[in-house]
Amino acid sequence: MLLMREVDPSGIENRLRRRFARRTYHSLGPNEVWHVDGYDKPKPFGIGISGCIDGFSRKIMWLTCGKSNKDPNVIAQNYINCVAEFGVFPSRLRTDCGTENGLMAALQCCLRSEQTDEFAGARSHMYGTSMSNQRIESWWSYFRKQRFLSPTFFIVQMYKTTTAYNVCYHTRIQFWLELFGDLRERHLFNGSSDHTRLLQDCFLDILQEELNEHKQYWNTHVIRPVRQSKCPSGRPEAMYYLPHRFNANNCGFAASTHTLNQIRSLIPAPSSAVVEDDQQICFEGLQRQSGLPRPLRWESAVDNYLTLKNMAEL
């Protein structure tokens, strides 16, 4: 202890006072760093969520749900779709060490191989622990806590029983988790491949629409200044598209359509696509036979799920 007091007196003083030294996030401008990660809470129900956030503007670049967020081909497709949509790829990409990020990391390094700056080529991708990927981890925390207003009670009729969901103060994602959990507790979902595929078929489109609304709300709301960041405050859309107003520059690199088309042709289809073709054909046939329309709200999605489950005798 005496030696440490000589070497690092300020550090010893802070530890004795139990003061936590927070890191300060710094970014030169939009598209300098994209942070990518997955959200695994809905994973027991066969649904994975993948997200990407721009470090400077905090703009959500993509927020998608699908049958998996652990398939490298799915994550790579999200990345290429985003690059094509915005016409740029970032100077650097930050992910955790999961195997699902390997193909996307290779694509990023390939796209950056023609530049000559200090982060060109293999240095354009950074691996790290999930907890140290602070921008996207912080946003997942917001995603879990964000609340929405809705009618006090939703009534769902299930097998002659009525369930009331008091969701006035539920978070968006928590509502879906409790809805799927209720199906499981009532033995209407057992986690089998058939049940999982049917739940995906009935709910994924609706969940994606809600994620799109959530992304739009976030990208247009006002972010207040915080002490732990040197990045500006304001609306993510404005900070991303008008960086000069915030004394910053766009750090991304233009992506050519020809290059993106070449890369798209090299990305294989998701590994689950071929296996589930027969199940999808079966459920689509039953849906046509029953005359059920595609669900537009969660209530009709529940009805479709129960009806098709009975027809398929699952």
Residue 82 lies in a domain: yes
Residue 6 lies inside a defined structural domain of this protein: no
Higher pLDDT, 21 or 82: 82
pLDDT in tens, 234-275: 999 999 999 999 999 999 999 988 889 888 888 887 765 555
CATH of the domain at 266: 3.30.420.10
Q: Does residue 278 sit within a domain? A: yes
Total domains in the fold of the chain: 1
Mean pLDDT, the chain, whole residue set: 84
Closest CA to 251 of 58, 56, 62: 56
Is residue 240 within 8 A of residue 30, CB to CB? The reply is yes
Contacts of residue 31, Cβ cutoff 8 Å, sequence gap at least 6: 54, 56, 88, 89, 90, 91, 250, 251, 252, 253
In a domain, 188, yes or no: yes
Q: Is the pTM of this model over 0.85?
A: no
pLDDT at 273: 54
What domain range includes position 176?
24-314
Distance (Å, rounded) from C-alpha 87 to C-alpha 102?
22
Q: Are 66 and 50 in contact (CB under 8 A)?
A: yes
Tens-place pLDDT, residues 43-92? 999 999 999 999 999 999 999 999 999 999 999 999 999 999 999 999 99
**Contact, 102 vs 125, CB < 8 A?**
no
Gyration radius of the chain's alpha carbons = 23
Does some domain include residue 126?
A: yes
The residue ranking higher by pLDDT, 12 or 179, is: 179
Each residue's pLDDT tens digit, 133-169 = 888 998 998 888 775 544 333 434 444 444 444 444 4
